[in-house]
Amino acid sequence: MDALERYEPILDDFEAFRAACERPLPSVVRVNGIKATRERVTDAFDAEGVEWEPREWNEKVLKIEGKPGNTWPSFHGWTHGQEEVSSISAFVLDPEPEERVLDSCAAPGSKTTQLAALMDDDGLIVANDSNLGRLSALRFNTERLGVTCAAVTNQDARNFSLKPFDFSAFDAALVDVPCSCEGTIRKNPTALDDWSLDHIEGVAGVQKGILRRAIQATREGGTIVYSTCTFAPEENEAVLDYALAREDCQLVEYDIGLQSEPGLTEWQGDQYDDSIRKAKRFYPHHNDTGGFFCAKLEVGA
Ligand SMILES: C[S@@+](CC[C@H](N)C(=O)[O-])C[C@H]1O[C@@H](n2cnc3c(N)ncnc32)[C@H](O)[C@@H]1O
Protein backbone atom coordinates (compact mmCIF):
# COMPACT_ATOMS: atom_id res chain seq x y z
CA MET A 1 0.00 0.00 0.00
CA ASP A 2 3.06 2.30 0.14
CA ALA A 3 2.31 3.55 -3.34
CA LEU A 4 -0.83 5.19 -1.97
CA GLU A 5 0.95 7.13 0.80
CA ARG A 6 1.99 9.81 -1.68
CA TYR A 7 -1.68 10.86 -1.80
CA GLU A 8 -1.97 11.61 1.92
CA PRO A 9 -1.45 15.39 1.40
CA ILE A 10 -4.36 15.65 -1.05
CA LEU A 11 -6.90 13.47 0.81
CA ASP A 12 -9.51 14.64 3.33
CA ASP A 13 -9.26 11.43 5.41
CA PHE A 14 -6.29 9.25 4.54
CA GLU A 15 -7.11 6.52 7.07
CA ALA A 16 -10.68 6.15 5.69
CA PHE A 17 -9.21 6.09 2.15
CA ARG A 18 -6.71 3.37 3.08
CA ALA A 19 -9.36 1.31 4.91
CA ALA A 20 -11.70 1.51 1.89
CA CYS A 21 -8.87 0.40 -0.44
CA GLU A 22 -8.43 -2.70 1.72
CA ARG A 23 -12.13 -3.70 1.60
CA PRO A 24 -13.53 -5.85 -1.22
CA LEU A 25 -15.55 -4.02 -3.83
CA PRO A 26 -19.36 -4.27 -3.83
CA SER A 27 -20.84 -6.21 -6.73
CA VAL A 28 -22.47 -3.85 -9.22
CA VAL A 29 -24.23 -4.28 -12.57
CA ARG A 30 -25.38 -1.86 -15.24
CA VAL A 31 -28.77 -2.41 -16.87
CA ASN A 32 -28.34 -2.85 -20.62
CA GLY A 33 -31.07 -0.65 -22.13
CA ILE A 34 -30.64 -2.27 -25.55
CA LYS A 35 -32.14 -5.53 -24.29
CA ALA A 36 -34.07 -4.76 -21.10
CA THR A 37 -35.62 -2.17 -18.86
CA ARG A 38 -34.60 -1.72 -15.25
CA GLU A 39 -37.98 -3.11 -14.18
CA ARG A 40 -37.51 -6.25 -16.26
CA VAL A 41 -34.11 -6.79 -14.67
CA THR A 42 -35.27 -6.19 -11.08
CA ASP A 43 -38.31 -8.45 -11.62
CA ALA A 44 -35.96 -11.18 -12.85
CA PHE A 45 -33.64 -10.67 -9.85
CA ASP A 46 -36.64 -10.91 -7.50
CA ALA A 47 -37.83 -14.10 -9.22
CA GLU A 48 -34.35 -15.60 -8.96
CA GLY A 49 -33.88 -14.54 -5.32
CA VAL A 50 -30.95 -12.21 -6.11
CA GLU A 51 -30.86 -9.36 -3.60
CA TRP A 52 -30.38 -5.96 -5.20
CA GLU A 53 -30.24 -2.32 -4.13
CA PRO A 54 -30.60 0.80 -6.26
CA ARG A 55 -27.65 3.17 -6.50
CA GLU A 56 -29.17 6.61 -6.00
CA TRP A 57 -27.00 8.48 -8.50
CA ASN A 58 -28.12 6.49 -11.54
CA GLU A 59 -31.14 4.25 -12.08
CA LYS A 60 -29.24 2.00 -14.51
CA VAL A 61 -26.74 1.01 -11.82
CA LEU A 62 -27.68 -1.70 -9.30
CA LYS A 63 -25.75 -3.22 -6.40
CA ILE A 64 -26.37 -6.98 -6.11
CA GLU A 65 -25.43 -9.85 -3.83
CA GLY A 66 -23.18 -12.41 -5.53
CA LYS A 67 -21.17 -12.42 -8.74
CA PRO A 68 -22.49 -10.15 -11.53
CA GLY A 69 -22.07 -12.85 -14.19
CA ASN A 70 -23.94 -15.58 -12.27
CA THR A 71 -27.52 -14.42 -12.85
CA TRP A 72 -30.15 -15.04 -15.52
CA PRO A 73 -30.31 -11.34 -16.51
CA SER A 74 -26.56 -11.46 -17.16
CA PHE A 75 -26.93 -14.67 -19.21
CA HIS A 76 -29.57 -12.96 -21.36
CA GLY A 77 -27.41 -9.84 -21.84
CA TRP A 78 -29.82 -7.68 -19.85
CA THR A 79 -27.06 -6.65 -17.42
CA HIS A 80 -23.33 -6.13 -17.56
CA GLY A 81 -21.05 -6.45 -14.54
CA GLN A 82 -19.20 -3.15 -14.48
CA GLU A 83 -17.37 -1.43 -11.65
CA GLU A 84 -19.57 1.45 -10.53
CA VAL A 85 -17.10 4.27 -11.21
CA SER A 86 -16.20 2.75 -14.59
CA SER A 87 -19.70 3.64 -15.77
CA ILE A 88 -19.15 7.36 -15.07
CA SER A 89 -17.28 8.19 -18.31
CA ALA A 90 -20.01 7.15 -20.76
CA PHE A 91 -22.73 8.87 -18.70
CA VAL A 92 -20.62 12.05 -18.76
CA LEU A 93 -20.05 11.81 -22.53
CA ASP A 94 -23.82 11.30 -22.91
CA PRO A 95 -23.85 10.66 -26.69
CA GLU A 96 -26.99 11.11 -28.80
CA PRO A 97 -28.45 8.60 -31.27
CA GLU A 98 -27.04 8.99 -34.81
CA GLU A 99 -23.76 10.50 -33.61
CA ARG A 100 -20.30 9.27 -34.59
CA VAL A 101 -18.29 8.39 -31.51
CA LEU A 102 -14.68 7.29 -31.21
CA ASP A 103 -13.88 4.95 -28.32
CA SER A 104 -10.07 5.22 -28.48
CA CYS A 105 -9.19 2.41 -26.04
CA ALA A 106 -12.28 0.25 -26.03
CA ALA A 107 -11.45 -3.32 -24.95
CA PRO A 108 -13.04 -5.23 -23.29
CA GLY A 109 -16.02 -3.06 -24.20
CA SER A 110 -17.76 -2.10 -20.95
CA LYS A 111 -17.98 1.52 -22.03
CA THR A 112 -18.51 0.79 -25.75
CA THR A 113 -21.63 -1.22 -24.91
CA GLN A 114 -22.77 1.48 -22.48
CA LEU A 115 -22.30 4.19 -25.14
CA ALA A 116 -24.32 2.07 -27.58
CA ALA A 117 -27.17 1.77 -25.09
CA LEU A 118 -27.15 5.55 -24.50
CA MET A 119 -27.38 6.02 -28.30
CA ASP A 120 -30.28 3.52 -28.59
CA ASP A 121 -27.86 1.44 -30.69
CA ASP A 122 -28.28 4.03 -33.47
CA GLY A 123 -25.28 5.83 -34.98
CA LEU A 124 -21.65 4.74 -35.19
CA ILE A 125 -19.20 3.84 -32.46
CA VAL A 126 -15.69 3.11 -33.65
CA ALA A 127 -14.43 0.83 -30.89
CA ASN A 128 -10.67 0.83 -31.19
CA ASP A 129 -7.96 -0.96 -29.24
CA SER A 130 -4.32 -1.61 -30.05
CA ASN A 131 -4.34 -5.01 -28.30
CA LEU A 132 -5.64 -7.61 -30.74
CA GLY A 133 -6.05 -10.23 -27.99
CA ARG A 134 -8.38 -7.98 -25.99
CA LEU A 135 -10.56 -7.31 -29.05
CA SER A 136 -12.10 -10.80 -28.78
CA ALA A 137 -13.50 -9.86 -25.34
CA LEU A 138 -14.81 -6.63 -26.86
CA ARG A 139 -16.55 -8.52 -29.66
CA PHE A 140 -17.97 -11.05 -27.18
CA ASN A 141 -19.44 -8.26 -25.04
CA THR A 142 -20.92 -6.34 -27.97
CA GLU A 143 -22.59 -9.51 -29.26
CA ARG A 144 -23.85 -10.61 -25.82
CA LEU A 145 -25.33 -7.18 -25.14
CA GLY A 146 -26.92 -6.88 -28.60
CA VAL A 147 -24.86 -3.93 -29.89
CA THR A 148 -25.02 -3.48 -33.67
CA CYS A 149 -23.76 0.11 -34.07
CA ALA A 150 -20.10 -0.59 -33.22
CA ALA A 151 -17.28 -1.07 -35.75
CA VAL A 152 -14.12 -2.57 -34.27
CA THR A 153 -10.67 -1.27 -35.27
CA ASN A 154 -7.17 -2.31 -34.21
CA GLN A 155 -5.04 0.84 -34.36
CA ASP A 156 -2.61 2.62 -32.08
CA ALA A 157 -4.88 5.42 -30.88
CA ARG A 158 -1.93 7.85 -30.83
CA ASN A 159 -1.93 7.77 -34.63
CA PHE A 160 -5.59 6.92 -35.20
CA SER A 161 -6.32 7.17 -38.93
CA LEU A 162 -9.66 8.35 -40.29
CA LYS A 163 -8.76 7.06 -43.78
CA PRO A 164 -11.03 3.97 -43.60
CA PHE A 165 -14.08 6.20 -42.97
CA ASP A 166 -16.22 8.39 -45.22
CA PHE A 167 -16.25 11.31 -42.76
CA SER A 168 -13.59 13.69 -41.51
CA ALA A 169 -14.33 14.02 -37.79
CA PHE A 170 -16.18 12.40 -34.89
CA ASP A 171 -18.89 14.13 -32.89
CA ALA A 172 -17.44 12.85 -29.64
CA ALA A 173 -14.65 10.70 -28.27
CA LEU A 174 -14.21 8.58 -25.17
CA VAL A 175 -10.57 8.44 -24.13
CA ASP A 176 -10.41 5.77 -21.43
CA VAL A 177 -6.68 5.29 -21.45
CA PRO A 178 -4.36 2.53 -20.21
CA CYS A 179 -3.07 3.58 -16.79
CA SER A 180 -1.30 2.43 -13.64
CA CYS A 181 -4.68 1.15 -12.31
CA GLU A 182 -4.12 2.27 -8.69
CA GLY A 183 -7.87 2.75 -8.28
CA THR A 184 -8.59 -0.92 -9.02
CA ILE A 185 -6.84 -2.14 -5.85
CA ARG A 186 -10.16 -3.24 -4.27
CA LYS A 187 -10.99 -5.49 -7.24
CA ASN A 188 -7.43 -6.63 -7.87
CA PRO A 189 -5.31 -6.78 -4.68
CA THR A 190 -2.11 -7.24 -6.73
CA ALA A 191 -2.71 -4.07 -8.77
CA LEU A 192 0.10 -2.21 -6.99
CA ASP A 193 2.67 -5.02 -6.93
CA ASP A 194 4.57 -3.64 -9.93
CA TRP A 195 3.97 0.01 -9.09
CA SER A 196 6.80 2.41 -9.99
CA LEU A 197 7.14 6.06 -10.81
CA ASP A 198 8.94 5.08 -14.01
CA HIS A 199 5.86 3.12 -15.13
CA ILE A 200 3.64 6.10 -14.34
CA GLU A 201 5.86 8.45 -16.36
CA GLY A 202 5.95 5.97 -19.25
CA VAL A 203 2.22 5.40 -19.46
CA ALA A 204 1.59 9.16 -19.11
CA GLY A 205 3.48 9.65 -22.38
CA VAL A 206 1.13 7.20 -24.11
CA GLN A 207 -1.93 8.89 -22.54
CA LYS A 208 -0.84 12.31 -23.84
CA GLY A 209 -0.53 10.98 -27.39
CA ILE A 210 -3.92 9.22 -27.26
CA LEU A 211 -5.79 12.24 -25.85
CA ARG A 212 -4.18 14.62 -28.33
CA ARG A 213 -5.11 12.48 -31.33
CA ALA A 214 -8.71 12.07 -30.12
CA ILE A 215 -9.08 15.86 -29.86
CA GLN A 216 -7.71 16.29 -33.39
CA ALA A 217 -10.16 13.65 -34.72
CA THR A 218 -13.23 15.34 -33.16
CA ARG A 219 -15.19 18.17 -34.79
CA GLU A 220 -15.32 21.70 -33.37
CA GLY A 221 -17.96 21.80 -30.66
CA GLY A 222 -17.62 18.05 -30.11
CA THR A 223 -17.12 16.47 -26.70
CA ILE A 224 -14.21 14.48 -25.31
CA VAL A 225 -14.23 12.53 -22.06
CA TYR A 226 -10.84 11.61 -20.61
CA SER A 227 -10.79 8.98 -17.85
CA THR A 228 -8.43 6.76 -15.89
CA CYS A 229 -8.74 4.40 -12.94
CA THR A 230 -5.72 5.85 -11.16
CA PHE A 231 -4.99 8.54 -8.58
CA ALA A 232 -1.65 9.61 -10.10
CA PRO A 233 -1.74 13.32 -11.07
CA GLU A 234 0.98 12.61 -13.64
CA GLU A 235 -1.62 10.50 -15.55
CA ASN A 236 -4.59 12.75 -14.87
CA GLU A 237 -4.19 16.51 -14.44
CA ALA A 238 -0.72 16.61 -16.07
CA VAL A 239 -2.08 14.91 -19.20
CA LEU A 240 -4.96 17.38 -19.42
CA ASP A 241 -2.57 20.30 -18.87
CA TYR A 242 -0.40 19.00 -21.73
CA ALA A 243 -3.39 18.71 -24.10
CA LEU A 244 -4.82 22.14 -23.16
CA ALA A 245 -1.50 23.76 -24.03
CA ARG A 246 -1.31 22.12 -27.46
CA GLU A 247 -4.83 21.58 -28.80
CA ASP A 248 -7.88 23.80 -29.22
CA CYS A 249 -10.10 22.58 -26.39
CA GLN A 250 -11.39 23.52 -22.95
CA LEU A 251 -12.53 21.81 -19.77
CA VAL A 252 -16.30 21.70 -19.14
CA GLU A 253 -18.17 21.35 -15.81
CA TYR A 254 -20.38 18.28 -15.31
CA ASP A 255 -22.55 16.84 -12.59
CA ILE A 256 -22.80 13.09 -11.94
CA GLY A 257 -24.38 12.80 -8.50
CA LEU A 258 -21.49 11.02 -6.76
CA GLN A 259 -19.21 12.63 -4.19
CA SER A 260 -15.96 13.78 -5.77
CA GLU A 261 -13.01 16.11 -5.33
CA PRO A 262 -11.99 18.67 -7.96
CA GLY A 263 -9.01 18.11 -10.25
CA LEU A 264 -5.70 19.34 -8.80
CA THR A 265 -4.06 22.55 -9.95
CA GLU A 266 -0.76 21.80 -8.19
CA TRP A 267 1.18 18.59 -7.52
CA GLN A 268 4.68 18.30 -6.10
CA GLY A 269 5.72 21.73 -7.32
CA ASP A 270 4.10 21.49 -10.79
CA GLN A 271 1.26 23.92 -11.55
CA TYR A 272 -1.65 22.96 -13.82
CA ASP A 273 -4.18 25.08 -15.69
CA ASP A 274 -6.77 26.46 -13.28
CA SER A 275 -9.68 25.08 -15.36
CA ILE A 276 -8.56 21.53 -14.52
CA ARG A 277 -10.41 21.86 -11.21
CA LYS A 278 -13.52 21.10 -13.37
CA ALA A 279 -12.30 17.49 -13.65
CA LYS A 280 -13.38 15.12 -10.86
CA ARG A 281 -11.48 12.69 -8.64
CA PHE A 282 -13.54 9.82 -7.22
CA TYR A 283 -12.08 8.21 -4.10
CA PRO A 284 -13.02 4.75 -2.71
CA HIS A 285 -14.01 6.01 0.77
CA HIS A 286 -16.48 8.60 -0.56
CA ASN A 287 -18.92 6.38 -2.49
CA ASP A 288 -17.73 2.85 -1.55
CA THR A 289 -16.35 2.34 -5.07
CA GLY A 290 -13.02 1.96 -6.84
CA GLY A 291 -10.92 5.04 -7.60
CA PHE A 292 -11.48 7.02 -10.78
CA PHE A 293 -10.65 10.26 -12.58
CA CYS A 294 -12.88 11.83 -15.23
CA ALA A 295 -12.72 15.06 -17.21
CA LYS A 296 -15.05 16.47 -19.87
CA LEU A 297 -13.69 18.70 -22.65
CA GLU A 298 -15.20 20.64 -25.52
CA VAL A 299 -13.27 20.95 -28.77
CA GLY A 300 -12.78 24.51 -30.09
CA ALA A 301 -13.06 27.76 -28.20
C1 LIG B 1 -8.58 1.03 -19.33
S2 LIG B 1 -8.52 -0.12 -20.62
C3 LIG B 1 -9.97 0.28 -21.52
C4 LIG B 1 -11.23 -0.25 -20.89
C5 LIG B 1 -12.44 -0.06 -21.78
N6 LIG B 1 -12.64 1.33 -22.13
C7 LIG B 1 -13.71 -0.60 -21.13
O8 LIG B 1 -14.48 0.19 -20.61
O9 LIG B 1 -13.92 -1.81 -21.17
C10 LIG B 1 -7.27 0.55 -21.65
C11 LIG B 1 -7.14 -0.13 -22.98
O12 LIG B 1 -6.20 0.63 -23.76
C13 LIG B 1 -5.59 -0.24 -24.68
N14 LIG B 1 -4.41 0.46 -25.21
C15 LIG B 1 -3.18 0.58 -24.65
N16 LIG B 1 -2.39 1.35 -25.42
C17 LIG B 1 -3.14 1.71 -26.51
C18 LIG B 1 -2.89 2.51 -27.66
N19 LIG B 1 -1.70 3.09 -27.87
N20 LIG B 1 -3.88 2.65 -28.56
C21 LIG B 1 -5.10 2.07 -28.37
N22 LIG B 1 -5.39 1.31 -27.29
C23 LIG B 1 -4.43 1.15 -26.37
C24 LIG B 1 -5.33 -1.49 -23.87
O25 LIG B 1 -5.18 -2.61 -24.71
C26 LIG B 1 -6.59 -1.55 -22.99
O27 LIG B 1 -7.54 -2.41 -23.58
Quick check: 101 and 135 in contact, CB under 8 A?
no
CA of 10 to the centre of ligand 1 (A): 28
**Nearest C-alpha to atom 2 of ligand 1 is from which residue?**
178
C-alpha 237/C-alpha 5 separation (Å) is 19
Residue 107 CA, closest ligand 1 atom number: 27
Buried b (16+ CB within 10 A) or exposed e, 114-153: bbbbbbebebbbbbbbbeeeebeebbebbebbbbebbebb
Mean pLDDT of 18-25: 95
280 pLDDT higher than 80: yes
Which of 181, 294, 287 has the alpha carbon at shortest distance from 230?
A: 181
Q: How far is the CA of 108 from the centre of ligand 1 (A)?
A: 8
What pLDDT is attached to residue 194? Answer: 87
Cα of 262 vs centre of ligand 1, distance in Å, is 25
55-69 residue pLDDT tens: 999 999 999 999 999
- Of 119, 109, 95, 98, nearest to 145 by C-alpha is 109
Please report, to the nearest 10 degrees, the dihedral formed by the alpha carbons of residues 117, 259, 178, 83 taken in order: -50
Q: Is the CB of 157 under 6 A from ligand 1?
A: yes
Q: Is the CB of 136 under 6 A from ligand 1?
A: no
Ranges 33-37, 99-103, 164-168, 190-194: which has the least confidence? 190-194
**Could you say which DSSP state residue 87 is in?**
G
pTM of the model: 0.98
43-52 pLDDT tens trace: 999 999 999 9
* Cα–Cα distance for residue pair 45/66, rounded to 1 Å: 11
In the predicted structure, residue 106 carries a pLDDT above the cut 60: yes
pLDDT at 32: 98
Considering the candidates 179, 229, 249, 294, report the single residue annotated as catalytic. Answer: 229
Whether 156 lines ligand 1, by a CB cut-off of 6 Å, is: yes
Is 229 labeled as catalytic in the residue annotation? yes
pLDDT value of residue 109: 98
Phi/psi for 25 (5° steps) reads -80, 140
Whether residue 107 has its Cβ less than 6 Å from ligand 1:
yes
Distance 105 CA to ligand 1 centre (A): 4
Q: Whose CA is nearest to atom 25 of ligand 1?
A: 131
Chain segment 186-197, per-residue pLDDT in tens: 999 898 998 999
d(CA 278, CA 174): 17
Is it the case that residue 108 has pLDDT exceeding 90?
yes
Rg (CA), the chain: 19
pLDDT in tens, 248-273: 999 999 999 999 999 999 999 999 99
Task: State percent of the chain over pLDDT 70.
Answer: 99
Q: Is the pLDDT of residue 2 over 80?
A: no
Q: How far apart are CA 59 and CA 161, in angstroms?
A: 37
Q: Tell me if 261 sits within 8 A of 292, measured CB to CB.
A: no
Helix-helix angle 132-144:110-118, to 10 degrees: 40
110 C-beta neighbours (distance < 10 Å), count: 23
User: Residue 135: CB within 6 Å of ligand 1?
Assistant: no
156-171 mean pLDDT: 97
Mean pLDDT taken over the chain: 97
Q: Is 226's pLDDT higher than 90?
A: yes
**Residue from 157, 290, 296, 173 nearest 231 by CA:** 290
